[in-house]
Amino acid sequence: MEETSPPRSDHPVIALRGATASLGSRPVLRGVDLTVRAGEVVALLGANGSGKSTAVRSVIGQVPLTGGDLTLFGTPLRRFKEWHRVGYVPQRTTAAGGVPATVREIVTSGRLARSRFGLPRRADREAVHHALELVGMADRAKDSATALSGGQHQRVLIARALAVEPELLIMDEPMAGVDLASQEVLASALREQVARGTTVLLVLHELGPLEPLIDRAVVLRDGCVVHDGPPPEAVGQHALPGHDHVHPHADDTAPATLGTGLLS
C-alpha cells in the first residue's frame, strides 16, 4: 500500500495537464488542461468533434494520451488501481447486449469494481437496489433491458455507474436522446449525488436541466480549452425556457464530425 490518498486530500480528483491525443492521424486534443477538485461539478461543453468525448475517454484510459500527463486522485493513471472510486457512464443508446439481461443483472455488473472476483454480498445487493431507486427504476429491476425506452436505458446506465458508490462520477452525454421526464429524474439523482459530496465530470452538448448543479464549465473547441469558468450565460432566444438547441454548429465542425462519428 503506497501513498493511498485519503478521500478529501488537497490532490485534485482529476488533473490533466497539456494533454494531446489523436485518433488515427488527426490530432483531437491539442494541449488540454483540466483540473477537477473534490466536490466540484464540471461540465465539458463544445460542438461535435471539439474533443470533449475524447478528453473524457482519455481520463479513464480508453484513449491513450500522446503527450501531457494525467493523475486521478493524485495517482498517475498508469499506476491507478482504485477503480471502485470511479463511476462511468459511457455514451450509449442502449444498455442491452446480444443476450437478454434484466435491469438488475446489468446494474449489478457495475458493482464488480468492488466485489471483483469475490461472491456478491448483502452490501452489494443493497447498493444495487439503492442505485435503482435513485434513478426510479427499482420497479423494473426484473424486466429485460430490451423492453425499455431510450430514457430508461440511460437511467439503467447511470444506475450501473452509481452501484459502485463512486467518489467521482464521469458521464458522457447522459442526456442524449432522453425525454424531459427522464431528464428530470436524472437531474434529481445527480443532485442527490452532488449533495453527498460526489465529484462529477460530465460531457454535455448543452447545459439543459442540469445547469443549476454545475459549478464550472470547460468549453473545448478544436481540441483546445477556450473557456474555463462559470457556465456561459445563454443569450437572446437561447435563454428562453424550453428553447431546444438544434441548429448545427458552423464552419469548423464539418470535417471533425466525420472523425468522431467513428469512435464516439
**Residues interacting with other proteins, by CB under 8 A?**
60-62, 81-84, 86, 88, 90, 92, 95, 97-102, 105-106, 108-110, 112-113, 115-117, 120, 142-144, 147, 160, 164
* Residue owning grid cell 452490501: 123
Closest approach, Cβ 237 to other proteins, in A, equals 27
Sheet holding 26-36, edge to edge: 26-36, 14-23, 67-72, 75-76
Which of 42, 55, 32, 39 lies closest to 231, judged by CA? 42
Closest approach, Cβ 105 to other proteins, in A, equals 5
Kindly tell me which of 104 and 221 has the beta carbon lying closer to other proteins.
104
- From CA 71, how far away is CA 11, in angstroms rounded? 9
Kindly tell me which of 23 and 38 has the beta carbon lying closer to other proteins.
23
Closest approach, Cβ 101 to other proteins, in A, equals 4
- From CA 243, how far away is CA 220, in angstroms rounded? 22
Closest approach, Cβ 32 to other proteins, in A, equals 20
Kindly tell me which of 4 and 243 has the beta carbon lying closer to other proteins.
4
Kindly tell me which of 169 and 185 has the beta carbon lying closer to other proteins.
169
Closest approach, Cβ 251 to other proteins, in A, equals 29
Tell me the DSSP string of 169-214.
Answer: EEEESTTTT--HHHHHHHHHHHHHHHHTT-EEEEE-SS-GGGGGG-
Strand partners, 199: 168
Closest approach, Cβ 202 to other proteins, in A, equals 15
Cβ–Cβ contacts within 10 Å for residue 27, how many? 15
- From CA 177, how far away is CA 130, in angstroms rounded? 25
